[in-house]
Amino acid sequence: MHQNFYNCLVISFINHNFRLIQNRIFNMHEVHQKLTDHNLRKTAVRTQVLSMFMENKGNALTNQNIEDSVSDLDRITLYRTLKVFEKNGIIHQIFDSSGKIKYALCPDGCGQLHHHDDHAHFHCEGCDRTICVVGEVKSDISIPKTYQVKRVHLVVEGMCDSCNPENTKNKTV
Ligand SMILES: [Zn+2]
Ligand SMILES: [Zn+2]
Ligand SMILES: [Zn+2]
């Protein structure tokens, strides 16, 4: 009885460890693969910054978010890294009313000089978080035929799940 319990503990510990290591190798491989797929050399900064975007898939990051998490990263290097990621179809810029520059990971299909980020964004006025909203945005607004449309930005603003006062109103304190 005692012996069995001990074996059980050892096995679960090994499995847990194994999963953690597997996960890390898998993620690094994925990060490097993405850089290669988008014709970028693997540098330490690019690997770290891209890891952050991949960990926060669907969520926009500001320069400040990245500077706070990546050590020894100067602003110019970060600026250049973000610009080259955007140019090569890895991240897209989001324009909301926060006035901050925000970027999020692109869905598959974006590439060098062509982006297909036809999705909306939700900006929370409470916590300032911006997320990518899944689904293509279709509109029937009539732009004069002689005008050339380059990109459409749809930003929905309001309160997220955590900030919406309606969500906490009925909870007992
Ligand atoms: Zn894109
Ligand atoms: Zn919020
Ligand atoms: Zn997005």
pLDDT tens digits for range 15-40: 333 333 344 455 789 999 999 999 99
List the chain domain ranges: 56-169
Task: Calculate the alpha carbon distances from 108 to 34, 36, 53, 57, 115 in Å.
Answer: 10, 14, 14, 12, 10
- Token readout for 163 is 């900030």
- Ligand nearest the Cα atom of residue 98: 2
Name the H helices within 38-149: 44-55, 63-69, 75-87
- Token readout for 24 is 């890390």
Report the predicted TM-score, pTM, of the whole model to 2 decimal places: 0.78
Strand partners, 111: 114
Report pLDDT for 21.
38
Whether the Cβ atoms of residue 52 and residue 125 lie closer than 8 Å to each other: no
Bridge-based pairing of strands 130-136 and 119-124 is antiparallel
> Measured in angstroms, how far is the CA atom of residue 167 from the centroid of ligand 1?
33
Report pLDDT for 173.
57
Residue from 74, 76, 86 nearest 112 by CA: 86
- Ligand nearest the Cα atom of residue 131: 3
In what helix (H) or strand (E) does residue 119 lie, and over which residues does it extend?
strand 119-124
End-to-end alpha carbon distance in the chain: 45
Distance CA 35, CA 88 (A): 9
**Fold classified for 56-169:** Arc Repressor Mutant, subunit A (1.10.10)
Residue range 152-158: average pLDDT? 91
Q: pLDDT, tens digit, for every residue of 64-97? A: 999 998 888 899 999 999 999 999 999 999 999 9
> Measured in angstroms, how far is the CA atom of residue 169 from the centroid of ligand 3?
31
- Ligand nearest the Cα atom of residue 135: 3
Indicate the residue type of 130.
T
Report pLDDT for 33.
95
Q: What percent of the chain stands above pLDDT 70?
A: 82
Handedness of CA 128, 134, 140, 145 (dihedral sign): positive
26 vs 132, higher pLDDT: 132
Of the candidate ranges 74-83, 134-143, 149-158, the one whose mean pLDDT is the lowest: 134-143
- Ligand nearest the Cα atom of residue 59: 3
> Measured in angstroms, how far is the CA atom of residue 11 from the centroid of ligand 1?
43
